[in-house]
Amino acid sequence: MSEALAKEPTAYERVQLARKSGRPGITEFIHRLFDDFIEMHGDRLYRDDPSIVGGIALFHNRPVTVIGHRKGKNTAENIRCNFGMTSPEGYRKGRRLMEQAEKFKRPVITLIDTPGAYPGIEAESNGQSNAIAESMACMSRLRVPVIAIVTGEGSSGGALAIAVADTVWMLENAVYSILSPEGFASILWKDAKRAPEACDCMKLTAQDLKGYGLIDGIIEEGELMYSDMDLMLATELERLSKKRPQVLVAERYQHFRKIDGLYQQ
């Protein structure tokens, strides 16, 4: 655990840390981990959704495709990026870039930080559920290595839409769950104020999920965070790149079938 924390945080405290406004976002991660990033825009159907950042970069001189959520760093950016709640256009943009990555044999790296997909009427009218499902289906069959990192909030289908990966990692104080604690408490107890209690029930921390075998590793936050992320990416890319495309697809499928089996128990 990072030195900044004097004691082990509760699940609800980790949620607050994951949502903290000063937490590094995708812009910082791209700047610190990749070179020569070229952002690409638009879903080629309707518009560009700024809550999803995607493009081509170099990682240790190797071309990769990077895709992730953007919340914004101030009020104006928050509003422009819809606080990281992505619309169908954003997921279609991400899928377009994934398919392009497969065409040119570039690994895909995703960075997840969202309170959930945007639930507005316009998003639903424009095919939100289909966009999420198509993104997940696309990722499940990609014939290139796919690495996902939950860097902050990873809530609901909005997170899972870009998290169907060969290996999934989380930052130490990130959270990953089926929906927000407030939503969970509202549905289960009709009281959003019971969110702290919901956090304990949901088992949404990186530590919980690693214990259940639902993620592959945890990256500690602190001075060495970026160097540890760099090492993890380099190690995982080397390992996954040795696998044949058909093996990657088959093992990815079996990995998520295994997770489904855990929930059925």
Predicted confidence (pLDDT) per residue in 91-115, tens digit:
999 999 999 999 999 999 999 999 9
Residue 4 lies in a domain: no
Give the DSSP per-residue string, 207-264: HHHHHTTSSSEEE--STTHHHHHHHHHHHHHHHHHTS-HHHHHHHHHHHHHHHHHHHH
Is the pLDDT at 261 greater than 80? The verdict is no
> What is the tally of structural domains in the chain?
1
Is 15 within a domain?
Answer: yes
For residue 43, what are the contacts with CB-CB under 8 A and spacing of at least 6? 49, 88, 89, 90, 92, 93, 96
Residue 110 domain-assigned?
Answer: yes
Domain for residue 5, yes or no?
no
The answer to the question of residue 238 being in a domain is yes
246 domain residue, yes or no: yes
Domain range for 199 is 11-264
Task: Name residue 55's amino acid.
Answer: G
Average pLDDT over residues 58-76: 95
In a domain, 2, yes or no: no
Instruction: Count other Cβ atoms within 10 Å, centred on residue 171.
Output: 25
Please report the pLDDT score of residue 23 as a whole number.
93
In a domain, 179, yes or no: yes
Sign of CA dihedral 122, 124, 127, 131: positive
CA distances from 253 to 36, 168, 248 (A): 32, 14, 9
Mean pLDDT for all residues in the chain = 93
